[in-house]
Structure 1
Amino acid sequence: MIPSSPIVIGTAIVVVLLVLFAVVRRARGPSADARESKQAHEAAQERDPPVEIGETYEFGVTEMTDHHSGEEVAVGKVEGFVVFTEDIPRGLKKGDVIRAKVLSFNEGRTSADATFVTKA
């Protein structure tokens, strides 16, 4: 015997709709944001970086994130080029303007690692 409780039927309908939504979304492909991000990444691979190793640049912190090293780093952009800055002081936050010295480029030269110099 199949349960016919309104709660069971409602739950089944919600599950079916969620599965259907996931299938349709997957069939549509990547989102517009994902496509835009991919295009920006590809364009970055084709241009020379606007920063040089050993030079210091000033930029705003756009986000804080965990680096592959396990440390929190500040993320910012110099002429649209992503710079990951380590050795940041406690209390640094999104929106702060900092100076950082570029240490190296990441694979593909689409971003760089830097070390914190000072808060601007």
Structure 2
Amino acid sequence: MISSSPLVIGVGVAVALLVLARRLLGPSAEARESKRAHDAAREREPPVEIGETYEFGVTELTDHHSGDEVAVGKVEGFVVFTEDVPSGLEPGDVIRAKVLSFNEGRTSADATFVGRA
């Protein structure tokens, strides 16, 4: 049985208003900026080349779809996912990585760890 207490009704109305406001206001400023950056990346040529080695700072470590941990960094704002990273690597470390391939759409690249800078 669904309660009809004023508190339950009030919570339901508040949730409905939040959902409605979200739909009317659209995405957040952060989401709009992310979309803008993604669209801009799709329109430019990647600043990296397959087979070349680049030096960059690690912005984060994340799990790859393969299950392995990868380092994420940027070269001229272009995202590079680096595999085969050694244990103990942390965000802020500077590494060298060799670019192996681009993702679909060429908005990021996959690379392999070459060494610490």
Verify same fold: TM over 0.5.
yes
SS at match of 1:43: helix
- What residue is the counterpart of 1:97 in the other structure? 94
Deviation at 1:33, TM superposition (A): 1.2
1:10 Cα offset (Å): 3.1
Gapped regions of structure 1 (runs ≥ 5)? none
The TM-score, its normalising length taken from structure 2, stands at 0.88
Which one has a larger percent helix, Structure 1 or Structure 2?
Answer: 1
Q: Which residue of 1 aligns with 2:71?
A: 74
Aligned to 2:7: 10
Letter in 2 for 1:59: F
Matched length: 116
Greater radius of gyration (CA): 1
Q: TM-score, normalization: structure 1?
A: 0.86
Percent identity between the aligned chains?
74
- 1:45-75, Cα deviation, whole Å (9 max, x unpaired): 1111111111111101111112122211111
Match of 2:24 in 1: 27
- Confirm whether residue 46 of structure 1 aligns to residue 27 of structure 2: no
Deviation at 1:14, TM superposition (A): 2.9
Q: Tell me how large the CA RMSD over aligned residues is.
A: 1.8
